[in-house]
Amino acid sequence: QIGKLADQINYSAYIIGGIVRDLIIGRTNEDIDIVVEGNGIDFANLLAENLGGTVRCHEKFATATWKHPSRLKIDITSARTEYYDYPAALPNVEMSSLKEDLFRRDFTINAMAIQINEDHFGKLIDYFHGFNDIKQNKIKVLYNLSFVEDPTRILRAVRFEQRFNFKMDQQTFDLAMISADKIASTSKPRIAHELSILLKEKHPVESLVRLGEIGIIRYLIGTHSFNVQKLKTFKSLVDEIVPLQQNQNSETWVCYLVILFSETENEIELVKDYCLNNESLKVTDQIVELLDDNQNFLKEDTLGAIHHSLKNYQTESIICYIALMQLQECFANKLKKYLQNRTQIPKLIDGNDLLNLNIEKGPLFAKILLEIECAYLNQEIHSKEDAISKV
């Protein structure tokens, strides 16, 4: 349908970038990017008029996002933004603009398009042999200055290596090494965006080791060396404990940075430059607090007593603390058991129950509810009746 609408206004239209790569690899991808040789905003409006949904325009870049009622979201860009200057552009000029668009991208595997106009539906546009590189599991830049122009692409190269089990070819690896220092002058939020995606993928430790091999870690954290064992301990605790949590929107990725920065004269505060939201800031602050704490909670015998000290700490903050301190097994096991049991605390009573017991609303509420949770963790109570009689 989208291709037919493009035909109506004589636009060539293509799906492009990551989705083409993933179609070839056989992986799902819900981010659909379309490039038209024409005006992207006009085309998005045409789609909305004919197929419904809404359009959000980014006039400056002549791009638009079309949201279909089915919640499908498609980004539409123009292969040449100055298209209007050349209303009678010849087809070959148009083609070269698509080629230019593809050439400006990061890697050959991301620089393919598939035409969706009816007559050419499914035609693969592959000027730079991305298809072959996929078949050979290769990550390859399109031009020598690619990493210099955008050093975050080094992080992307490692992400695709780990995600697909691909490898940079020698030339790309060498270019990454000699461009690594450029990351030092890249904005922290841009680095953080790519790092967060990289560290949320399946192999964060391997990715960091690879970044170490490239030599870019030094320009990110100020030192060459880092303790892989601490990273591994953290990852295995994450795998063991985070899946048990109900709320899995955890900020584990930022903990890898905390572990790295802790190697550099304990400048964990520097991690805050990379925190993209309040949640990651909170986790970083909590880890600093735990490290500064007198750590009496380690001496506690009961889970209830530990809960008194650690109830407000996120799971990932506590796990990171265990890894950073390389805690002895008995202490680590105690905290692990606490975290595991904490995920299973039921809400035995709530505020209404306390009101029914003629307790006045106020700070006492939170205190009582905490005591009930601690008593549950200590297996002193098991049911709502137990909780009410304890109150």
Interface residues with ligand CTP (CB under 6 A)?
Answer: 17-18, 29, 31, 105-106, 110, 150, 152-153, 156
Toward ligand CTP, which CB reaches closer, 29 or 340? 29
Find the shortest distance in angstroms from Cβ 132 to ligand CTP: 17
Find the shortest distance in angstroms from Cβ 88 to ligand CTP: 29
Find the shortest distance in angstroms from Cβ 162 to ligand CTP: 12
- CB burial of 1-28 (b: ≥16 within 10 Å; e: otherwise) equals ebbebbbeeebbbbbbbbbbbbebeeee
Q: Are 370 and 387 in contact (CB under 8 A)?
A: no
Toward ligand CTP, which CB reaches closer, 19 or 41? 19
Find the shortest distance in angstroms from Cβ 138 to ligand CTP: 15
User: Who's near 302: CB < 8 A, 6+ residues apart?
Assistant: 374, 377, 378
Taking each helix axis from N to C end, the angle separating 329-342 and 228-241, rounded to the nearest 10 degrees, works out to 30
Give start and end residues of each alpha helix (H) in the chain.
2-8, 18-25, 40-51, 91-103, 130-135, 146-149, 152-164, 170-179, 188-200, 204-214, 217-221, 228-241, 252-262, 278-292, 303-310, 315-325, 329-342, 351-356, 363-377, 384-390
Report the residue closest to ligand CTP, judged by CB: 18
Find the shortest distance in angstroms from Cβ 57 to ligand CTP: 19
Toward ligand CTP, which CB reaches closer, 152 or 233? 152
Q: Are 241 and 319 in contact (CB under 8 A)?
A: yes
Count of residues in the chain: 391
315 C-beta neighbours (distance < 10 Å), count: 23
Give bridge partners of residue 295 from the DSSP assignment.
none
Find the shortest distance in angstroms from Cβ 111 to ligand CTP: 6
Toward ligand CTP, which CB reaches closer, 35 or 348? 35
Taking each helix axis from N to C end, the angle separating 188-200 and 204-214, rounded to the nearest 10 degrees, works out to 130
Toward ligand CTP, which CB reaches closer, 106 or 161? 106
Amino acid at 85: D
With tokens 């004919």, the residue in question is 50
Toward ligand CTP, which CB reaches closer, 141 or 374? 141
Toward ligand CTP, which CB reaches closer, 31 or 380? 31
Find the shortest distance in angstroms from Cβ 185 to ligand CTP: 16
